[in-house]
Amino acid sequence: MRVLVIGSGGREHALAWRMAQDEGVTEVLVSPGNPGMAVTPKVTTHPTVGLDLKETIDFAVKSRVSLIVFGPEKPILEGWADHFESLGIPVFAPRKAAAFLEGSKIQAKRFFLEHQIPTARFFEAKDAREAKALLKQCADWKGVVVKLSGPALGKGVFVCANIQEAEAALDQLIQTPQPGQEEGLILEELLLGREVSMFYLIGPNQPALFLGSACDHKRLLENDLGPNTGGMGAYAPAQFFPKHLEETVLKKIIEPTLEGLRQRGTSFTGVLFAGLMVSDQGPMLLEYNVRFGDPETQALMPLLQGNLSETLRALSLGQTMSGISLKSDSVCVHIVQAAKGYPGLFGAPIERGQTIQACGEPMANGTECFYSGVTGLFPDLTTSGGRVLGISAVGRNTGEAKSLAESESARHTFVNAQWRRDIGKSAL
């Protein structure tokens, strides 16, 4: 079968790379993709298609694909899946009616409350000024997290240790409004604990299939300092997460969510990605994403056993599936390299045009490079975006995977690259 992956980043590269290895897959088309993906056999990129619904529909029909998998949230939140469904093409992504779980933090938090899903206390505000006035009611919180309600490309969350920091973040938002702020903001209580991302594959009216857990590293700098980013690295699985809590998450968070959607007359298809904080009160839901995580996917795919494309296609068609799991004897560490200036908060420029070194050279066993913000003709690539590439390394334990990922990252890099040397350190 031919599979279409929509998107152009490292996550889409990892998905395409993994599905290209599935038995029965003849080609993975990525639209638009990026020129780094040319390194992967059976993967083709289609840069002229663009992230446009009509162009993508024409392309999918013409290419006779048997499955469409989405990377980024934007087309999902815009409801592309509904259009492909009406064409009869299996698509592994939620319909628009379920996408609010990620698309609107305000609507999602109201939904969590309604269905008694454990989550942090919060206030809603219509704009940054109103939020500032609400801060005095947060005085007994451990800290305040300011969240823009709408989609903000992973840059809509400001984790503030105290009221003063939250006030400063809100002042900046008043002066320089950011995307995602239009439909309001949330002030949420800061939760302390360990963060974990859990991934479930779901077909309409099917039980959730647990894919695995991973830990993202959101802050730009080592030791979790600096601004939040789209993700600077990840490791999988989250070994610290006790097995018995998997059942708790399923029963108290995932199943009530699917049941709550059913009560609204909506079923869920696609990836349900729960961002959790494991606090002393147990697992608390920070947020949902309705897609694969970036960069968690780059850490999960090298560990995945089973036929992924077959599973996603069957789930899309409402069939019951099993047989997908992570290798139990290995760990994967993924390190992202970002350009100087990333995450480009409040208009800061991001450097472009640096040459990628060692591109196309053989890599160490168990390692893989997934490309994101690159341009040119493989192997002559230069940087063209915030997150440029990432190296995944599989080892028998975290230490082995980490040092392998670091040695390959040092070789496969570019001038002024920002990358963290502590991805996976907390799991050592």
Q: Of 40, 228, 311, 337, which lies in the binding site for ligand AMP, with binding defined by CB under 6 A?
A: 228
Q: Which two tokens stand for residue 88?
A: 């009869």
Q: Is 145 in the site for ligand AMP (CB under 6 A)?
A: yes
Collect all residues with Cβ–Cβ distance below 8 Å to 246 and sequence separation of at least 6: 198, 210
Q: How far is CA 148 from CA 128, 153, 306, in A?
A: 9, 11, 38
User: Residue 295 CB, nearest distance to ligand AMP (Å)?
Assistant: 13
Residue at 120: amino acid letter: A
- In this structure, are residues 277 and 193 in contact, taking their beta carbons and an 8 Å threshold? yes
User: 293 touches which of ligand AMP, ligand GLY, none (CB within 5 to 8 A by kind)?
Assistant: ligand GLY
Q: Is 231 left (phi over 0), alpha (psi -120 to 50) or beta?
A: left
Q: Which two tokens stand for residue 353?
A: 């045009």
- Residue 33 or 227: the one with the smaller Cβ distance to ligand AMP is 227
Q: How many residues does the chain have?
A: 428
Window 329 to 348, contacts with ligand AMP (CB under 6 A): none
| Cα 287 to Cα 46: distance, rounded to the nearest angstrom | 32
User: φ, ψ for residue 164 (rounded to 5)?
Assistant: -65, -45
> What string marks each residue from 189 to 218 as x (binds ligand GLY by CB under 6 A) or -?
---------------------------x--
- Residue 71 or 275: the one with the smaller Cβ distance to ligand AMP is 275
Q: Of 94, 150, 180, 231, which lies in the binding site for ligand GLY, with binding defined by CB under 6 A?
A: 231
- Residue 90 or 283: the one with the smaller Cβ distance to ligand GLY is 283
Q: Of 12, 188, 310, 408, which lies in the binding site for ligand AMP, with binding defined by CB under 6 A?
A: 188
- Residue 157 or 201: the one with the smaller Cβ distance to ligand AMP is 157
- Residue 190 or 358: the one with the smaller Cβ distance to ligand AMP is 190
User: Residue 259 CB, nearest distance to ligand GLY (Å)?
Assistant: 24
Q: Of 51, 190, 250, 358, which lies in the binding site for ligand AMP, with binding defined by CB under 6 A?
A: 190
- Give the Cβ contact number of residue 89 at 10 Å: 19
Q: Of 79, 143, 154, 399, which lies in the binding site for ligand GLY, with binding defined by CB under 6 A?
A: 154
Q: Which two tokens stand for residue 47?
A: 């840069």
| DSSP result, 330-349 | -EEEEEEEE-TTTT-GGG--
- In this structure, are residues 409 and 246 in contact, taking their beta carbons and an 8 Å threshold? no
Strands 331-338, 325-326: pairing is unpaired
> What string marks each residue from 283 to 322 as x (binds ligand AMP by CB under 6 A) or -?
---xx-----------------------------------
Q: Is 293 in the site for ligand GLY (CB under 6 A)?
A: yes
User: 231 touches which of ligand GLY, ligand AMP, none (CB within 5 to 8 A by kind)?
Assistant: ligand GLY
Q: Is 155 left (phi over 0), alpha (psi -120 to 50) or beta?
A: alpha
User: What is the binding site for ligand AMP (CB under 6 A)?
Assistant: 120, 145, 147, 157, 159, 188-191, 195, 218, 228, 275, 277, 286-287
